[in-house]
Structure 1
Amino acid sequence: MENRQTIDKKATVMMIVVCAIWGLQQVAIKAAAEDVPPVLQIALRSGVAAVMVGLLLLVRRYREKCRVQTWRGGVIVGVLFAVEYIAVSVGLSYTSAAHMVIFLYTAPIFAAIGLHIRFASERLSSVQWLGIVIAFIGIAVAFYAPSAPGEGWITRQRVGDALGVLGAIAWGATTLSIRCSKLAEAPAPLTLFYQLAGACVILAAVAGVTGQTTLHLSGIAIASLAFQTVVFSFLSLLVWFWLLGRYLASRLGVLSFLTPLSGVVFGVWLLDEKLDTSFVFGSLLVLAGIVVVSGHDMWRANRAQPCLSSR
């Protein structure tokens, strides 16, 4: 039986770095949007990262574990990953990176609801349902930003925010699909390869059909694409899978909530984005609700452990 460790200093530092990278992702996409359309950015980074992960699979000799039965689940997660990032890339044209990262990282809420419906072992407690209610109230509050004079209720920012929620739903569905398919038993890099390959093919097609193929390789564009490809899509995700294989997922999940916080900080700092009061208050409710949902199991497990007296 495989035992996973509780979080130590090494894992904490690694998670802080990973969360900072994930939070910076939306900012990197938005910063280079004038030189490379977001859809094309994600297609390019996903294609190069898919090649890198594919080479890793060959080098690590995963052939025995990468069975053909995984392809059906792979197609599904590839499509869902593409849908998630189509929503993100289009949404960033309408809303800020700070807004996008908060709404996108409501994904654990949708994943928890799907897992509750599908698996008896994943039933949510009454406290966790309370956390979900708090998170949805937070989404509603954060969604309600004051409209500019003359604007109706449907503003550009609210359209972008809604696309962020759509991306979160697709992300949550991806988690559920992995659990319900052969990918649950497959090596994590194989699942990542399916996601990256699917995103590359579908987003490249979308970029071609919609005419978003302009590529101006400025310094910012090159730096953004390099960061998204090597640091985010390859290194950070592999580190995340490595941590999941060695440490308790519930503990890592709680630390991962540093991601939306860091995303908001980077958006304000690097892009000079403004935050209205309703968004800040709603975001805090969203984060509180997610912590309640994902941290409840960890809290319950800690209470169940016997107290050990010191010598």
Structure 2
Amino acid sequence: MKDNQSRIWTFLNKNRWAIGVMILVITLLWGYAWVLMKDALQYMGPFTFSAFRFGTGTLTMIIVLAIMRIGLPPKDKWGHLLVAGILQTSIVFLFVMYGLRFVDAGKSSVLLYSMPIWSSILAAKFLKEKVPRMKMIGLGMGLIGLLTILGWDIWINQNPSIIIGELLIVTAAISWGASNVYYRLKLSDVPQLQVNTYQMLFGTLGIILASIVMEWGDSVQLTGESIYYVLFTGVLASALCFTAWFFLLSLIDMVTTTISTLLVPVFGMFFGWLLLDEKLTISIIIGSVLILSGIIIANVYRGPANRKTYISKHEAESQGG
């Protein structure tokens, strides 16, 4: 499996456009998933939906591993996979889905995708990654774009329940940032298919426990529409996208990877306008332009030192190092 992983890395390194395509597909699917997550709450509770979603995603990944005859991760990695599952899946999606009860879907996606700033801070602290000036400028523009989309209503006329919801979602963003760094520290040498399968498995167990405690006996409507929501978010937005996400984290630097996710709330608001008749205000348009500009600035610059480090690392792995 390491040979397959090495071949994929070599292809992506020689065809840098393919990395951009991966990021575009991931952010498009995640942006669309926000619309489905919001609509799914009319059929079942937020924790129950998350349990169905990630249960479906985990089952999908287990089937993929079985078909590819991929065995279990090394025993010394199970504890790290448990921690990654709690940070990446349990905390992030329990907090986000509960926060959606109080905060609009569009604003929720914007708050969650403050994640790049937390990832960058933690990567600088624990991974000793330096943030070049141009990437810092790109990150700053992206965050200004997020604040522009949020508008002044995040600072004024707030009621306590909305503030609590927003704090939960920001905490989820910090947890996601921490999981990115933890992955790079402890799990980057484990194949991404295994990482995503088992972190999702452990994270799903936490979500199921929460749904039993908080929503046992609540109404669950399984219709064609709600089943579609579960399958799309479970198979595509979870199993596929998070596998690709862990691959990107092992391939390129933390800042470049995470800044690109700022596209998600842009796509989320676009799909909200297209499918849910949500308004596209001038602040959303200006904020989206700032986010896109920040991503372009951050990704145009490629630090030679970081690039050399990643090439050396993966060449060593491909040679059995």
Whether TM exceeds 0.5 here: the answer is yes
Match of 2:311 in 1: none
Query: Could you tell me how far apart the structure 2 residues matched to 1:193 and 1:12 are?
Result: 24
Q: In the comparison of the two structures, how many residue pairs are matched?
A: 294
- Quickly say closer, same or farther: Cα 1:59–1:218, change in 2 above 3 A: closer
Match of 1:55 in 2: 63
Match of 1:309 in 2: none
Query: Could you tell me how far apart the structure 2 residues matched to 1:134 and 1:254 are?
Result: 10
Match of 1:123 in 2: 130
Query: Could you tell me how far apart the structure 2 residues matched to 1:137 and 1:36 are?
Result: 35
* SS of 1:184 mapped into structure 2: coil
Contact map agreement 1:143 1:161 (CA 8 A) in 2: no
Which of 219, 226, 230 in structure 2 is aligned with 1:225? Answer: 230
Which of 204, 214, 218 in structure 2 is aligned with 1:200? Answer: 204
Shift of 1:31: 0.8
Q: In structure 2, what residue type is equivalent to 1:167?
A: A
Query: Could you tell me how far apart the structure 2 residues matched to 1:156 and 1:269 are?
Result: 28
Contact map agreement 1:32 1:221 (CA 8 A) in 2: yes
1:118-152 Cα deviation digits (max 9, x unpaired):
123x12234444445555555555444448xxx94
- Quickly say closer, same or farther: Cα 1:215–1:77, change in 2 above 3 A: same
Query: Could you tell me how far apart the structure 2 residues matched to 1:172 and 1:96 are?
Result: 22
Match of 2:214 in 1: 210
1:156-185 Cα deviation digits (max 9, x unpaired):
55544433322211110100111121x121
Match of 1:103 in 2: 111
Question: RMSD between aligned alpha carbons?
Answer: 3.4
Match of 1:164 in 2: 169
1:86-134 Cα deviation digits (max 9, x unpaired):
12101211222222222222212211110101123x1223444444555
Query: Could you tell me how far apart the structure 2 residues matched to 1:39 and 1:70 are?
Result: 28
- Quickly say closer, same or farther: Cα 1:113–1:255, change in 2 above 3 A: closer
- Quickly say closer, same or farther: Cα 1:113–1:260, change in 2 above 3 A: same
Contact map agreement 1:109 1:290 (CA 8 A) in 2: no
1:234-278 Cα deviation digits (max 9, x unpaired):
233345556777x76687766654332211101122222235555
Relative to total residues, which structure has the larger helix share, 1 or 2? 2
Q: In structure 1, what residue type is equivalent to 2:204?
A: C
- Quickly say closer, same or farther: Cα 1:184–1:243, change in 2 above 3 A: closer
- Quickly say closer, same or farther: Cα 1:238–1:80, change in 2 above 3 A: closer
Contact map agreement 2:110 2:150 (CA 8 A) in 1: no
* SS of 2:78 mapped into structure 1: helix
What 5-or-longer segments of structure 2 have no aligned partner?
A: 1-5, 308-321
Query: Could you tell me how far apart the structure 1 residues matched to 2:54 and 2:268 are?
Result: 21
Query: Could you tell me how far apart the structure 2 residues matched to 1:126 and 1:243 are?
Result: 22
Contact map agreement 1:7 1:248 (CA 8 A) in 2: no
Query: Could you tell me how far apart the structure 2 residues matched to 1:171 and 1:218 are?
Result: 31
Query: Could you tell me how far apart the structure 2 residues matched to 1:50 and 1:186 are?
Result: 17
Shift of 1:13: 4.8
What 5-or-longer segments of structure 1 have no aligned partner?
A: 305-311
- Quickly say closer, same or farther: Cα 1:125–1:91, change in 2 above 3 A: same
Match of 2:239 in 1: 234
Contact map agreement 2:114 2:143 (CA 8 A) in 1: no
Shift of 1:23: 0.7
Match of 1:74 in 2: 81
Contact map agreement 2:84 2:182 (CA 8 A) in 1: yes
Amino-acid identity (%): 25
Match of 2:178 in 1: 173
- Quickly say closer, same or farther: Cα 1:59–1:164, change in 2 above 3 A: same
Query: Could you tell me how far apart the structure 1 residues matched to 2:21 and 2:148 are?
Result: 33
The 10-residue stretch of structure 1 (279-288 or 187-196) with the greater mean CA deviation from structure 2:
279-288
- Quickly say closer, same or farther: Cα 1:241–1:103, change in 2 above 3 A: same
Shift of 1:153: 3.1
Query: Could you tell me how far apart the structure 2 residues matched to 1:258 and 1:23 are?
Result: 8
Query: Could you tell me how far apart the structure 1 residues matched to 2:85 and 2:248 are?
Result: 23
